[in-house]
């Protein structure tokens, strides 16, 4: 059976989203841990920018279906890979959504490279502070942003280990075809 090739769109969307998500996860944790306020607008802007791309990718997956595995692997391995792919796709949607809900409901608001999309709500009597729009929703979305972020990091680790296992141990075309370099 011939190995199914991946379309150029699948490959481009995969690597654009993969690189952006990995950088945003790292920057998100770094800026939250070290209070690096200067990074917040960049984190938010790239997070907002990747959202329509992630939606397009999910729609493309629904239209095109999942890629066929390159080999006849045990059922548990195929199920594990599929579950991981679902988690990754879901994570790429839920991270920008929770980030936008959290930032707007906390009163900080957000901009896309300087273009205001959700207004900030500065406190009338405490300079430099904001008034939350909906505190419980902001707390929930903040928690979701953090927890889903960590789940995503675990899923990416599993995903990369899987890709390397195919490449190094099985010596198959899984990684090569996603690199657009299939024999």
**126 versus 141: smaller Cβ distance to ligand HEM:** 141
Q: Is residue 94 near ligand HEM by the rule CB under 6 A?
A: no
- Residue 50 in tokens: 């990747």
Residue from 5, 2, 3, 1 nearest 178 by CA: 5
Other CB atoms within 10 Å distance of the CB of residue 9: 12
- Sketch the per residue contact string, 107 through 146, with ligand HEM: x for CB under 6 A, - otherwise: ---x----------------------------------xx
The conformation of residue 118, written as its DSSP 8-state character, comes to: E
**125 versus 128: smaller Cβ distance to ligand HEM:** 128
Among 18, 90, 120, 133, binds ligand HEM (CB under 6 A): 18
- Sketch the per residue contact string, 141 through 170, with ligand HEM: x for CB under 6 A, - otherwise: ----xx--x------x--xx--x-------
Torsion sign (Cα): 17, 18, 20, 24: positive
Q: Which stretch binds ligand HEM (CB under 6 A): 21-29, 121-129, 132-140?
A: 21-29
Q: Are 159 and 17 in contact (CB under 8 A)?
A: no
Q: Is residue 22 near ligand HEM by the rule CB under 6 A?
A: yes
The conformation of residue 110, written as its DSSP 8-state character, comes to: E
**47 versus 107: smaller Cβ distance to ligand HEM:** 47
How far does Cα 172 stand from its chain's mean position? 27
Q: Are 142 and 82 in contact (CB under 8 A)?
A: no
Other CB atoms within 10 Å distance of the CB of residue 34: 9
CB hemisphere CA count around 76 (13 angstroms): 0
Number of residues that bind ligand HEM (CB under 6 A): 42
- Residue 55 in tokens: 């939606």
Query: In the complex, which residues of this chain contact ligand HEM (CB under 6 A)?
Result: 10, 14, 17-18, 21-22, 24-25, 28-29, 32, 40, 43-44, 47-48, 50, 61, 67, 69, 81, 85, 88-89, 91-92, 95-96, 99-100, 103, 110, 145-146, 149, 156, 159-160, 163, 174-175, 178
């Amino acid at each position: 059976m011939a190995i199914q090739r991946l379309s150029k769109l699948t490959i481009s969307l995969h690597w654009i989203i993969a690189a952006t998500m990995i950088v945003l996860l790292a920057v998100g944790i770094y800026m939250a841990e070290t209070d690096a306020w200067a990074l917040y607008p960049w984190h938010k802007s790239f997070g907002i920018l990747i959202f329509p791309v992630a939606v397009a990718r999910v729609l493309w997956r629904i239209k095109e279906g999942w890629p066929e595995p390159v080999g006849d692997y045990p059922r548990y391995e195929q199920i594990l890979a599929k579950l991981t792919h679902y988690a990754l796709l879901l994570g790429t949607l839920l991270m920008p959504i929770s980030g936008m809900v959290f930032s707007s409901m906390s009163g900080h608001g957000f901009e896309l490279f300087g273009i205001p999309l959700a207004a900030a709500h500065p406190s009338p009597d405490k300079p430099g502070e904001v008034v939350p729009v909906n505190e419980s929703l902001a707390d929930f979305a903040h928690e979701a942003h953090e927890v889903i972020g960590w789940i995503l990091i675990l899923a990416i680790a599993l995903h990369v280990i899987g890709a390397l296992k195919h490449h190094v141990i099985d010596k198959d075309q899984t990684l090569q075809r996603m690199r657009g370099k299939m024999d």
